[in-house]
Amino acid sequence: MILAEVVRSGFVECVHHGSVVVLDAAGAVVASAGDVTGPVFPRSSNKPLQTVGMLRSGLSVADPADLALISGSHFGEPFHVDRVRSILRAAGLGEENLLCPVDFPLSATERDAVVRAGGGAERIYMNCSGKHAGMLATCVANGWPLDDYRDAKHPLQVALAETVTELVGEPIAATGVDGCGAPVFAFSLTALARGFLRLAAAPDGYERQVADAVRAAPELVAGTGQDDTQLMHGVPGLLAKGGAEGVVAVAIPDVGAVAIKVADGAMRARMPVLVSALRRLGVDAPVLDELATVSMLGGGVRVGEVRAVW
């Protein structure tokens, strides 16, 4: 189904198809479009669910904010990199233990700063290095091997798969290799929204610990001025985590949850569609007006927008 359109100079030049599901506070589907029961890879939207699994497996952090970074896809700002190093150091490990790929920071500003300083791509700059640091710390807590912690058959990954399955209330349909090299689990958008609602509305326990950490430190989940960060600052109680290839999931206690997959993987269509979905739940906040459209530029000025049609 067409979820969003791209308008340039008053002319619709392309559209984005996809699927979206909206749940009420009780977890019932109140609106949907496209296929919301077939499996998708949520990509990094899996991360908060995986962090719950790490805590259940014995992960201990010195600062609750560490859980936000472990659940996030950071942009490589100095406070992100310093905290990854801190998590590793507390586990008696170093950057050499990370098995995520080498990369530059997602932040263009920080990437330029690294290059100007004569630096290059490093594992710690990779946006998933926080998750990998958490995985390594969990392995240390259990005495599990460190050299193959990304393997789907490793005790860590088996435990995380069990937790994710339980949280989303649906069997994992497929296990793939994510961009960072760790396993990524496939299940439906409805299950993804259900899992996020469970975390956001949890009265206590590990689910509540993760949700509270993410909501309290949204800059650690993404970065300064990023969509997830803006949403969590702008809507009280909202839990958000985007994923690659056009995925985003959010939940608000006593309100409901939304999960979206843009079929062609376009990230620019996510926020306009999400705003439309949240408004169906009665959510109203200035930040939604800011994110309802994405500007299209021509000659350096706004000449159009990406907007939801669902």
**Tens digits of per-residue pLDDT, 50-89?**
999 999 999 999 999 999 999 999 999 999 999 999 999 9
Output the average pLDDT for the chain.
97
The pLDDT value recorded for residue 121 is: 97
Give me the mean pLDDT over the 137-141 stretch.
98
- State the residue for tokens 């021509």: 298
Q: Are 59 and 138 in contact (CB under 8 A)?
A: yes
How far, in Å, CA of 41 to CA of 109, rounded?
30
Question: Quick one: pLDDT band at residue 310, thresholds 50, 70, 90?
Answer: very high
The pLDDT value recorded for residue 243 is: 97
Q: DSSP assignment of 181-200, as one string? A: SSEEEEEEHHHHHHHHHHHH
Interior angle at CA 134, CA 39 and CA 54, nearest 5: 60
The pLDDT value recorded for residue 3 is: 98
How far, in Å, CA of 298 to CA of 42, rounded?
33
Question: Quick one: pLDDT band at residue 30, thresholds 50, 70, 90?
Answer: very high
Question: Quick one: pLDDT band at residue 8, thresholds 50, 70, 90?
Answer: very high
Question: Quick one: pLDDT band at residue 269, thresholds 50, 70, 90?
Answer: very high
Tokens representing 74?
């950071």
Question: Quick one: pLDDT band at residue 301, thresholds 50, 70, 90?
Answer: very high
How far, in Å, CA of 228 to CA of 219, rounded?
8
253: left (phi over 0), alpha (psi -120 to 50) or beta: beta
Q: How many CA atoms lie within 13 A of 183 on its CB side?
A: 25
How far, in Å, CA of 298 to CA of 295, rounded?
10
The pLDDT value recorded for residue 194 is: 98
